[in-house]
Every structure is written in C-alpha cells, then in structure tokens.
Amino acid sequence: MNDFLYLECPCTSFPRSFARDYKETYLYPPPSTIYGFLLSLVGEEDLTAHLGVKIALGMIGETPPISRIVRKQRHHKFSKTHQGIYPPSQFSIPNFQELLTDLKIVIKLESDAELAKITLAQRVAIALSNPSEIKRFGGLSLGESWALINGLRKYRPEDGKVSWLIRDNRGLIGLPVWINRETTQGIFQRFRLTESEAFEDNCWIEIKAPVVEKKTQSRSKTKRSPKATN
C-alpha cells in the first residue's frame, strides 16, 4: 500500500452535467475530476498529456453526507437597442447546490500504458517528494475552484478501511470518466462500491479520449444531358 495516495477534502461538490437551477452532485468523485486534479497537482495544462493512465479510486469511512445551500444567481438580458441598468431584484433567482463534506479518498495510479516520457505517476511522486521542482499556479482544489483540499500524502493503514470503486455494467453508480470541454459530452461508466479492502483488476479506470470518426460525404456525380439545339 506504499503506492496509495490519501486525499482529504473538507467540502466540495461534483455537479452533474444536466444540473441547472438545482446543482445536484455526484455522491462519489468522478474519475475525470480526479484526473484533472492530478494534472493540476503537477502543473499540467494539457488534458491529453497523460492519456492512457489508469486510476483506481477508493473511499474511507461512511458515505459522505450531503448538505444543501441556497446561492444567488444573477442573469441580465441586454438587447442591441435597449441597453441599460436593470434592477437586480428582477434578474436574481435562488440557486440551490448540493455539497459533500469530509471526503477521504484513496488514489492508486498505473502509468504503464502512457506514451509520455515522464509519466503521471512519476510526476506525482516528484510533486510529493520535491514540490519545488513543480511549476504550477493557483490553489489545489478538488472539483470547483473554491473546494481547496486539506492535503495529499501517502496512505497509511491507520487512515482507515478502503472501499474501492469497481467497474460494473450493472452498478448503480454512474460517473464521468472523460469530459470534452468543447462539447461538454463525455464517456460515462457504471461502478459499485466494494465491501472489502480487496483490490481487483476491475478497480482500474483507464483515462482515454473517445475516438472521433470523420464522416466522409460521398458526392454522386450525375452526367448532364447535352442541351438540344434547334
């Protein structure tokens, strides 16, 4: 268990893609979010830099409780001909959001299938042992920018029992594995939470972008009949 990472976050939210006025959260950390978190840790801005890495996620303790808060959401409508200042009372609506508190997550990495010269697992190890060698900016957050973590370190047995997320087509836990920032579409997988600490091969989640097939349009050429001349 020396290669397990222990991540602790006091408060965060993983909004579902379809959430609008009521920001419902995923109950467990999505693999796509954990992948983005690790890229932020090592100061990598290219999402495709470490495609092929495999991530395993585990939870410590009971299911994190959900809190619900009310936030103010403002929206203003301006037309090209009628520009001006509008009263905020007419353009402010309540926005409900779900939060998760006291998250304790265990992460395991495998970079054998990566094509990068320095793999993500190696860069994470460098970030933990020699933070001065990593060039990054901003706070280290899990999910949204305000959700700062308490810390990241090696897992210790006294941290608690680990329940792993296992890939299962009949599982009741649906999480995004990859999200396209341009189209907001992505790849989703189903999981279930183990009741034992046993690590299985189905715990591995490969991070890969979907293959986009180029559509070829076949143009049918029709022969034009010659014009009749009188």
* Structural domain contains residue 173: yes
pLDDT at 15 exceeding the cut of 70: yes
Percent of the chain with pLDDT over 70: 81
Whether 44 maps to a domain, the answer reads: yes
Could you give the number of structural domains in the chain? Answer: 1
Smallest Cα–Cα separation from 193: which of 171, 178, 177? 171
Question: In angstroms, rounded to a whole number, what is the distance separating the alpha carbons of residues 54 and 165?
Answer: 13
In this prediction, residue 140 carries a pLDDT of: 94
Q: Rounded CA gap, 76 and 69, in Å? A: 23
CA pair distance 192, 130, nearest whole angstrom = 36
Q: Which domain holds residue 42?
A: 4-68+99-207
Q: Which residue from 163, 147, 145, 148 is spatially nearest to 28, judged by alpha carbons? A: 163
Residue 89 falls inside a structural domain? no
- Is position 46 within any domain? yes
Q: At what angle do helices 120-129 and 31-42 cross, to 10 degrees?
A: 50
Token pair for residue 182? 């341009």
Residues with Cβ within 8 Å of residue 151, at least 6 apart in sequence: 7, 8
For residue 5, give the nearest of 30, 41, 47 by alpha carbon.
41
Least confident of 27-31, 90-94, 164-168, 171-175: 90-94
- Is 23 a member of any domain? yes
Residue 138, by phi and psi: left (phi above 0), alpha (psi -120 to 50) or beta?
Answer: left
**High-pLDDT (> 90) share of the chain, %:** 59
The 10s digit of each residue's pLDDT in 168-211 is 999 999 999 998 777 667 889 999 999 878 899 999 999 987 76
In a domain, residue 150? The reply is: yes
| Two structure tokens written together for 178 | 């990859």
Distances (CA, A) of 160 to 9, 23, 49, 80, 106: 15, 30, 33, 59, 10
Give one word for 102, left, alpha or beta, with left for phi > 0 and alpha for psi -120 to 50: left
pTM of this structure: 0.83
Per-residue pLDDT tens over the stretch 120-166 = 999 999 999 999 999 998 899 999 899 999 999 999 999 999 999 99
Work out whether the CA dihedral 6, 173, 38, 25 comes out positive or negative: negative
Residue 230 lies in a domain: no
Domain assignment of residue 221, yes or no: no
CATH assignment at residue 55: 3.30.70.2660
